[in-house]
Structure 1
């Protein structure tokens, strides 16, 4: 647990950590409540970095404006999975796309509606879970997720199958997550975060609980191979895995991300796949 999220932990009654299984229903409920409770603090802490009309893939500061991982989106229907307050979707709108933002959390979507109003960019926002997308098959020309949804759903294969279902042939699916090797280190941006303490191959979820054992936050670990197999199993073609280097002069600390750790090993993995 972290002081950065003390308000959400207090609201939800978080008292400890349990390494145990967490199924789809429990993960969905816990993370909806968590992000509802943490939405205000999250935007107070990170809103200036993310912006309201920018597409930032990761704490390393990779921007879609430069990376162009989705390609030319003008005229395309694009789904952002786990959109939060939807700055990425609003940036896509500015590039001529027709974006839709989906998020599990009503609290995050509230910030999205407020940002829509403040910017005058009215992106459609939908509440729903990434493993049960509320859209018809073949609805989108592209899909993306910048640290949204994927680590918080118990069955990542279900997420990828749902994304493949709603994509049209030839459409890209690009998503950013914690680099899987980060699982082996403590969640600490300082020197203590440089020592391996946990097996890379242990897929047991990280679960925060209240004093009754009820989950208040759940995050799931997958290896690089797990992600690749799940993408291929969903019928998608893997085109690239981007591991951003820490940029020179970037001094921001974000949770476990820091210049100290960033110059030694990757903090983010960005997967680019495509529906044949």
Structure 2
């Protein structure tokens, strides 16, 4: 077995060319960890934000750094003290850090769950971060109750698609923004009011909103305060400076995701059964990861992009 492996990494912060495919040393599982042979990995917005140094204050790195935060594969080896899995088990999960774009990766066993039999590795790789983060971000400001009016920005994306479904299940009235080509998809997920952000101003349609979940950021955050009720809140995942941009008397919350294996296990089972919709818009090969990261930055898309390491 080779002592090196493929990886997608950055040596310095920068644009599209900063992410490259290179050979690095293969790791060994430490205490409480398993070594996973990665078969597929999900592409996320955090990849290009890390690449460009956009979140360097929130997530300081030692460069070079391997990108990627979620994956699916099979356990190759078990480290000292790890007991939840054995070699050969199919697993999926977030790393809880960077490093998923590599043929082998070490992961704390507490972050992982067994991949349901009805879910292949490519589809499984796009689930761990978005499905869990959408759930926790939706509930970050407090419990969701029937009749609440919720506005979800970026509703066709990886997180947004799940958030629409969760909010609808809870009995909320769901307002959702999306690009023109993605409106019908968002409507099919259960959104009550679908807003085309290219041709419509959401603040002219969404009123008396109890909760805004902002997966977009930029000026969308600044325009969203006016649609809130007096005690409404905005949860942001794309604006690290949301607290500084929160007007006096308003409630703005910054959300960062954390692994939640118990929740992931439940949601993955629902996806495998078909009771929760998980959408892939594109599957790329390993060498296509750097370009896929850049496409994630430059344009909206439905659902998730996943890299199939066998391609």
TM-score scaled by structure 2?
A: 0.37
Larger radius of gyration: 2
Higher share in helix = 1
Higher share in strand = 2
TM-score scaled by structure 1?
A: 0.41
